[in-house]
């Protein structure tokens, strides 16, 4: 076996990856086929996929799989965008205005260590099962990385670029928009990726508790019915959508890098 | 009109105890449209002198005045050309040059005209839409000079502007700078550690001591240049061959070497 320092050929990478997947499904199938774990508690991969396909046309807990996914994705989008729309400008401004940094940083540093899920009681109290609850929880997860990365990006801008802008008579707003923002773009996009990951994970957690639609809600209902294939179908969908979101943001990151905007 | 006046300037960096005196008792008066070059050993504080005129740093004691007003911060009346160019990588050549004019609130038509003039002055025609990373170091520094010149600043502050360029490009840029400042004179403060460059470009060369930086000697090159008719020679190498040039270059070298050997002891 080669060490991690020696590079693998593409064919080897694919082969090892495939071997891992085969092994994973092999063990999983084995566990349920041979009844090591009761089928009721661990369905086979085949059952899960069959269930997922069935859920595309047969509603469960008030909707088909794609309807639940859509409401999850929409909630995620609202919370995530809210986090970005508030976090990025605030982070950039904190990176420029010393006073704002001094005022916001202590509060922010304390709040960001509270897990998004910890907002569930307030989400329930303030919003019930309305859309506000999950959005609050996603926002709590997505907002900090947006702010931190914009802030760091702004703080680590090449000093002489700022001095050049100042000697050209550039005002604060224009420095933030035309110097700090473009200079921090790579850092901001990296922050968005982290944000999306945490946001998506928090959403599912939130839906387990404070929602009446969505993939998370679907999972809770399925668990109550001890319908493990549905639970796993939902997990499969969550994983795939998360992967898709990450791929989209990775593409954005690569585009920013390629344009040399960093 | 732009007269720069260093009056008893002292600059200390760091805190009491582990701080150090970077500049000590700097008194220097720079006349309007005068070209001053400051040379000195590394770390003597010559760049700090420039940064105090730019308004990026402030004296610990004494004052730096431009036109009788104390410098309180950076501004477009004192344009800076940085050693590492400091162009905005996400802005095209034309947008880099235009930023200062936009800040002044100059309208689009007028702005376009003045950018075009600056582009022409610096020989950047055809590169208006290019981005800095697509240009060579010499071209990037042309953009930086155009960005400064387009503002028609009273004072031009150049911090080792040709230090990052290769020898040939450097020579071209030195000749260009002479051409431009002759056509369009400005008060120039030029920091360098290249002695030939200082003698070739400046009206007066200020020699500084090693840290703490003090003014060791001020040499009037302007009157030598006039008396020996340097301006009749077009090329830099012809000027550098003149006896008077060699004399003063060697004089400054010796003066600087004394400082270097002090440091080695």
Q: Domain holding A105: CATH number?
A: 1.10.3720.10
The structure tokens listed for B99 are: 């930023």
B157-173 pLDDT, tens digit per residue, is 999 999 888 888 888 88
Angstrom distance (rounded) from CA B69 to CA B79: 17
What pLDDT is attached to residue B44?
Answer: 84
Question: Which of B152, B177, B203 is the last residue before a domain boundary?
Answer: B152
Report the number of distinct structural domains present in chain A: 2
Closest residue of A to B87, CA-based?
A: A161
B189 touches chain A (CB under 8 A): no
Same domain for A115 and A184, yes or no, is yes
Same domain for A52 and A177, yes or no, is yes
CB contact under 8 A, B103 and A161: no
B147 touches chain A (CB under 8 A): yes
Same domain for A87 and A6, yes or no, is no
Best of A164, A171, A261 to disrupt the B interface (most B CBs within 10 Å) is A164
Angstrom distance (rounded) from CA B47 to CA A50: 73
The structure tokens listed for B244 are: 């008077």
Chain A CB contacts of B82 below 8 Å:
160, 163-164
Question: Which of B129, B152, B175 is the last residue before a domain boundary?
Answer: B152
B212-245 pLDDT, tens digit per residue, is 888 999 999 999 888 888 888 878 888 888 888 9
Please classify residue A180 by burial: count the beta carbons closer than 10 Å to its beta carbon, then call 0-12 exposed, 13-18 middle and 19+ buried: buried
CB contact under 8 A, B87 and A168: no
A177 touches chain B (CB under 8 A): no
What pLDDT is attached to residue B146?
Answer: 93
Portion 142-171 of A in contact with B at CB < 8 A = 158, 160-161, 163-171
pLDDT at A132 over 90: no
CB contact under 8 A, A178 and B82: no
Best of B48, B57, B71, B80 to disrupt the A interface (most A CBs within 10 Å) is B80
Question: Which of B123, B152, B181 is the last residue before a domain boundary?
Answer: B152
| Largest CA-CA distance found in chain A, in angstroms, rounded | 76
Which domain range does residue A195 map to?
A: 43-258
Q: Quick check: is B82 in a domain?
A: no
Higher pLDDT, A146 or B235: A146
pLDDT at A262 over 50: no
B163 touches chain A (CB under 8 A): no
SS3 helix, strand, coil % of chain A, rounded to 5?
80, 0, 20
A255 touches chain B (CB under 8 A): no
β-strand B78-81 against B35-39: which pairing, if any?
unpaired
Which domain range does residue B93 map to?
A: 88-152
Q: Quick check: is B139 in a domain?
A: yes
Closest residue of A to B150, CA-based?
A: A168
What pLDDT is attached to residue B20?
Answer: 84
Quote the strand ranges of B67-186, DSSP E. Answer: 69-70, 78-81, 155-159
Please classify residue A3 by burial: count the beta carbons closer than 10 Å to its beta carbon, then call 0-12 exposed, 13-18 middle and 19+ buried: exposed
B93-148 pLDDT, tens digit per residue, is 999 999 999 999 999 999 999 999 999 988 899 999 999 999 999 999 999 999 99
CB contact under 8 A, A167 and B80: yes
Residue A105 C-alpha, separation from nearest chain B C-alpha, in angstroms: 26
Same domain for B49 and B173, yes or no, is yes
Same domain for A75 and A27, yes or no, is no
Same domain for B173 and B51, yes or no, is yes
A61-91 pLDDT, tens digit per residue, is 888 999 999 999 999 999 999 999 999 999 9
Q: Quick check: is B51 in a domain?
A: yes
Question: For the ranges A142-146, A149-153, B240-244, which has the lowest average pLDDT?
Answer: B240-244
Chain B CB contacts of A171 below 8 Å:
103
Nearest by CB to A167, from B74, B87, B90: name it: B74
Contact yes or no for B74/B55 (Cβ under 8 A) = yes
Q: What is the DSSP letter of B213?
A: B
CB contact under 8 A, A167 and B99: no
Residue B74 C-alpha, separation from nearest chain A C-alpha, in angstroms: 5
CB contact under 8 A, B86 and A170: no
A260 touches chain B (CB under 8 A): yes
Angstrom distance (rounded) from CA B40 to CA B38: 7
Q: Predicted ipTM?
A: 0.90
């Amino acid at each position: 076996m080669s060490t991690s320092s020696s590079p693998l050929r593409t064919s080897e990478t694919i082969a090892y990856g495939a071997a891992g997947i085969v092994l994973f499904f092999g063990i999983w199938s084995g566990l349920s086929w041979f009844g090591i774990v009761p089928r009721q508690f661990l369905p086979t991969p085949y059952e899960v996929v069959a269930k997922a396909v069935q859920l595309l046309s047969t509603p469960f807990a008030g909707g088909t799989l794609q309807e639940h996914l859509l409401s999850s994705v929409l909630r995620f989008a609202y919370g995530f965008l809210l986090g970005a729309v508030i976090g990025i400008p605030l982070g950039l401004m904190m990176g420029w205005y010393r006073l704002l940094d001094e005022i916001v940083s202590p509060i922010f540093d304390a709040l960001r260590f509270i897990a998004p899920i910890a907002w569930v009681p307030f989400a329930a109290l303030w919003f019930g099962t309305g859309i506000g609850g999950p959005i609050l929880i996603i926002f709590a997860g997505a907002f900090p990385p947006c702010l931190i990365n914009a802030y760091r990006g702004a703080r680590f801008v090449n000093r002489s670029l700022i001095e050049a802008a100042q000697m050209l008579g550039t005002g604060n707003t224009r420095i933030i928009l035309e110097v700090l923002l473009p200079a921090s773009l790579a850092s901001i996009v990296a922050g968005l990726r982290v944000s999306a990951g945490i946001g998506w994970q928090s959403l599912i957690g939130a839906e387990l508790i404070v929602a009446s639609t969505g993939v998370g809600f679907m999972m809770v209902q399925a668990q109550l019915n001890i319908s493990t294939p549905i639970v796993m179908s939902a997990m499969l969908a969550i994983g795939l959508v998360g992967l898709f979101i990450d791929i989209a943001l990775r593409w954005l990151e690569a585009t920013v890098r390629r344009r040399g905007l960093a | 009109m732009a007269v720069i006046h260093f009056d008893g300037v002292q600059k200390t960096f760091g805190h009491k105890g582990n701080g150090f005196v970077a500049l000590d008792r700097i008194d220097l008066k720079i006349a309007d449209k005068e070209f001053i070059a400051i040379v000195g050993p590394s770390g003597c504080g010559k760049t700090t002198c420039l940064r105090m005129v730019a308004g990026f740093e402030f004296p610990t004691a004494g004052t730096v005045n431009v036109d009788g007003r104390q410098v309180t911060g950076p501004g477009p009346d004192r344009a800076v050309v940085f050693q590492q160019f400091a162009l905005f990588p996400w802005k095209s050549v034309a947008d880099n040059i235009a930023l200062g004019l936009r800040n002044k609130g100059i309208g689009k038509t007028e702005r376009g005209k003045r950018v075009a003039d600056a582009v022409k002055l610096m020989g950047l025609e055809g590169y208006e839409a290019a981005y800095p990373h697509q240009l060579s170091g010499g071209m990037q520094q042309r953009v930086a000079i155009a960005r400064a010149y387009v503002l028609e600043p009273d004072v031009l502050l150049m911090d080792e502007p040709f230090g990052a360029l290769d020898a040939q490009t450097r020579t071209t840029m030195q000749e260009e700078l002479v051409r431009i400042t002759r056509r369009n004179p400005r008060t120039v403060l030029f920091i360098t550690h290249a002695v030939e460059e200082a003698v070739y470009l400046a009206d007066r060369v200020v020699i500084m001591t090693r840290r703490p930086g003090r003014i060791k000697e001020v040499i009037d090159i302007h009157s030598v240049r006039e008396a020996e008719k340097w301006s009749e020679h077009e090329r830099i190498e012809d000027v550098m061959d003149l006896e008077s040039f060699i004399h003063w270059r060697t004089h400054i070298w010796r003066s600087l070497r004394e400082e270097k050997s002090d440091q080695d002891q």
